[in-house]
Amino acid sequence: MSGVGDLKMFIDGKWVDSDGGAAFEATSPATGEVIGTVPEGTRGDAQRAIAAANAAWGDWAARSAFDRAAAMRRVARVIEERRDDLARTLTLDQGKPLRAEAFDEVDELVSYYEMAAEDATRLDGLMPHSVDADKRVFVYRVPRGVVGVITPWNWPYTMPAEIVAPALAAGNAVVWVPAPTTSVCAVKLAECMVEADLPAGLFNLVTGPGPVVGDEVAGNPGTHAIGFIGSIATGHKVAERAAGKELLLEMGGNGPLVVLEDADLDAAVTATLEACFLNAGQSCTAGERILLHEAAHDEYLDRLRAAVGTEVRLGDPFDDSTTMGPLNNEPTAAKTERHVSEAASSGATVVTGGHRAPTFGTPLYFEATVLDGVTEEMDVAREETFGPVAPITTIRGEDEAIEIVNDSPYGLLSAVFTRDLGRGLRFAESVRTGWVNVNEGTNYWESHLPFGGRAGSRSGVGRVGGRFSLERLTELKTVVVKMR
pLDDT, tens digit (0-9, with 9 covering 90-100), for 345-397: 999 999 999 999 989 989 999 999 999 999 999 999 999 999 999 999 999 99
Q: What is the model's pLDDT at position 483?
A: 95
| Below-70 pLDDT ranges, the chain | 1-2
Q: Is 376 one of the annotated active-site residues of the chain?
A: no
What's the pLDDT tens digit per position in 24-68?
999 999 999 999 999 999 999 999 999 999 999 999 999 999 999
pTM: 0.97
Q: Is 342 one of the annotated active-site residues of the chain?
A: no
Catalytic, out of 216, 284, 367, 398:
284
Say which residues have a Cβ less than 8 Å from residue 256's Cβ, sequence separation at least 6. Answer: 287, 288, 289, 290, 291, 401, 404, 405, 408, 414, 415, 442
| Angle of CA points 87, 91, 93, to nearest 5° | 110
Q: Which domains does the chain have, with CATH numbers?
A: 5-251+462-479 (3.40.605.10), 256-446 (3.40.309.10)
The H-assigned helical ranges of 175-327 are 183-195, 215-219, 232-241, 265-277, 297-311
CB 68 within 8 A of CB 229: no
Strands 349-352 and 369-372: antiparallel
Catalytic, out of 105, 114, 216, 250:
250
Q: What is the model's pLDDT at position 252?
A: 87
Q: What is the model's pLDDT at position 220?
A: 98
The secondary structure of 304-348 as a DSSP string is: HHHHHHHH--BS-TTSTT-SB---SSHHHHHHHHHHHHHHHHTT-
Q: What is the model's pLDDT at position 358?
A: 87
Q: What is the model's pLDDT at position 421?
A: 96
d(Cα 361, Cα 293) in Å, to the nearest integer?
A: 39
